[in-house]
Amino acid sequence: MKTLRIVSVVLLATFVVLFALACQAAPTPTPVPPTKAPIVAPTAVPPTVAAQPATKFPEKPITLVVHASAGGGSDIFARTLAAVFEKEKILAQPIVVENKPGGSGAVAFAYVAGKKADPYFMLTAVTSFLTTPLQGLSEVSYKDFTPLANFAFDEYMLMVKAESKYKSMKELIDDAKAKPEKTIKAGGTQLGSADSICAYLIEKATGVKFNYIVFNSGGEVNAALLGGHIDIAVSNPGEALELAKGNKIRNLGVFAEKRLAGAPDVPTMKEQGIDALYVQNRGLVMPGNIGAAERKVLEDAMLKYTKTDTYKKYVKDQMLTEAWMDGATFGKWIEGENARYLPILKDMGLIKSK
């Protein structure tokens, strides 16, 4: 029995020793307080997502639709802009100019309006952008577009062929009064355009009546004048002065408050006793429902364009007045002009009273 007790004691002691060793070999882990979570970077993104570059607008060329044929003021404006964007790499993609004349601008307006929510289309917006819809010649109006920016205003000049017998506005008006109405042929672009409104202002101020003939662009008007098919034409200063430099035409007057710096010898209509003042804008719009992000990219790009030397030269050469407006400001201006043109067009007989 004594031997048995000794063996039991030895076994018990061995068990205690082994248990102690086991506890040392596998210590109990320190518990983590329940309020502490594993440390993870708050902006961590899975490697497969972070490796993908963000989509950037534009990802393809942008089409700038001109509402008139090649050669006119809007076409020159659009192609100058597109060339600078390409040269200066203002955007990651180029701007491609596409002419869509016809219907006093209605063809181009309908085409671009049909690209709703597509940020890859822009449209030249001048006087006809408002006057054509007001006349009921277009199924869309300014409300179907997103205003992008306005760049400048340009005054207009009345010109005759260099060989013309008219040396002043007085000679022109006196001859028009001496002949039957609509004997003098005036050429211009669509009815309700800047050209036609300027001709109307002369008629209203002097009591004469011209035979207004419509052409698709300023280029066609100039060709008709030089070819002797029309007697007078109204043109923006850039086109008129370029022809004057080549001794092809004679400018009789400018529709401005004061003489233009680039044409000090050309008197204003006001100086010649004719109450006719007019300026036209140069702007761009986009289809309706354009996203704010895409609109901001293009608006910023357009503003950057106006800071380039080429744009400054364009404004000087075309004798424009800089008049930058961002999209929101341009939109409000368009609304005001739309209201201003309504009574003018009614008086011209272009809007029939219902």
Distances in Å between the alpha carbon of 306 and those of 84, 136, 251, 292?
10, 34, 29, 21
Of 228, 235, 217, the closest CA to residue 159 belongs to 235
pLDDT reading at 279 higher than 80: yes
Residue 249 and residue 290 in one domain: no
CATH at residue 100: 3.40.190.150
- Please indicate, yes or no, whether the overall pTM of this predicted structure exceeds 0.75: no
Q: Is residue 163 part of a domain?
A: yes
Same domain as 246, residue 176: yes
Q: 190 near 196, Cβ under 8 Å? A: yes
- Compute the distance between CA of residue 304 and CA of residue 300 in angstroms, rounded to an integer: 6
Do 74 and 137 lie in a common domain?
yes
Please report how the helices 73-88 and 309-317 are oriented relative to each other, as an axis angle in degrees rounded to 10.
160
- What domain range includes position 66? 62-154+280-347
Q: What is the pLDDT of residues 145-163, one digit of tens each?
A: 999 999 999 889 999 999 9
pLDDT band of 26, cuts 50, 70, 90: very low
Are 68 and 133 part of one and the same domain? yes
Please report whether residue 267 resides in a domain. no
Single residue among 254, 271, 289 that ends a domain in this structure: 254
* CB contact at 8 A, 310 and 151: no
In this structure, is residue 339 part of a structural domain?
A: yes
Residue type, 288: G
Tally Cβ neighbours within 10 Å of residue 207: 11
Q: CA torsion sign, 63 to 68 to 70 to 76? A: negative
Q: For the chain, what is the domain count?
A: 2
pLDDT for 353 equals 62
Looking at the fold, whether 81 and 170 belong to one and the same domain comes out as no
- Tell me: do 164 and 181 sit in the same domain: yes
Please check the confidence at residue 221 and state whether its pLDDT lies above 70. Answer: yes
Question: What is the per-residue pLDDT across 175-217, written as a single tens digit (0 to 9) for each?
Answer: 999 999 999 999 998 788 888 999 999 999 999 999 999 987 7
Rounded to an integer, the average pLDDT of 31-49 is: 41
- 97 forms beta bridges with 64
Is 233 within a domain?
A: yes
Do the bridges between strand 62-66 and strand 121-125 make them parallel or antiparallel, or are there none, so unpaired?
Answer: parallel
Q: Based on the domain organization, do 148 and 167 belong to the same domain?
A: no
- Average pLDDT of the residues in 219-233: 94
To which H or E segment does residue 96 belong? strand 95-99
Residues 150 and 162 in one domain: no
Choose one of 254, 270, 296: the last residue of a domain: 254
- 144 inside domain: yes
Instruction: Please state, in angstroms and rounded to a whole number, the distance separating the CA atoms of residues 90 and 87.
Output: 8
Do 143 and 166 fall within a single domain?
no
Range with the largest mean pLDDT of 64-73, 85-94, 315-324? 85-94
**263 and 242 Cβ atoms separated by less than 8 Å:** no
pLDDT in tens, 230-241: 999 998 887 788
Residue 184 CA to residue 176 CA, distance in Å, equals: 6
Q: Are residues 218 and 286 in the same domain?
A: no
Q: Is residue 53 part of a domain?
A: no
- The answer on 239 and 163 residing in a single domain is yes
Which residues fall within 8 angstroms of residue 205, CB to CB, at 6 or more apart? 269, 274, 275, 276
Higher pLDDT, 73 or 49: 73
**Model confidence at 53: pLDDT above 90:** no
pLDDT tens track for 255-273: 998 998 888 999 999 999 9
- Quick one: pLDDT at residue 329? 98
> Is the model's pLDDT at 24 over the cut of 90?
no
Q: Give domain status of residue 275, yes or no.
A: no
- Which amino acid, residue 153? F
Among 236, 254, 272, which residue terminates a domain? 254
182: CATH: 3.40.190.10
In a domain, 284, yes or no: yes
One domain for residues 201 and 236: yes
pLDDT reported for residue 319:
84
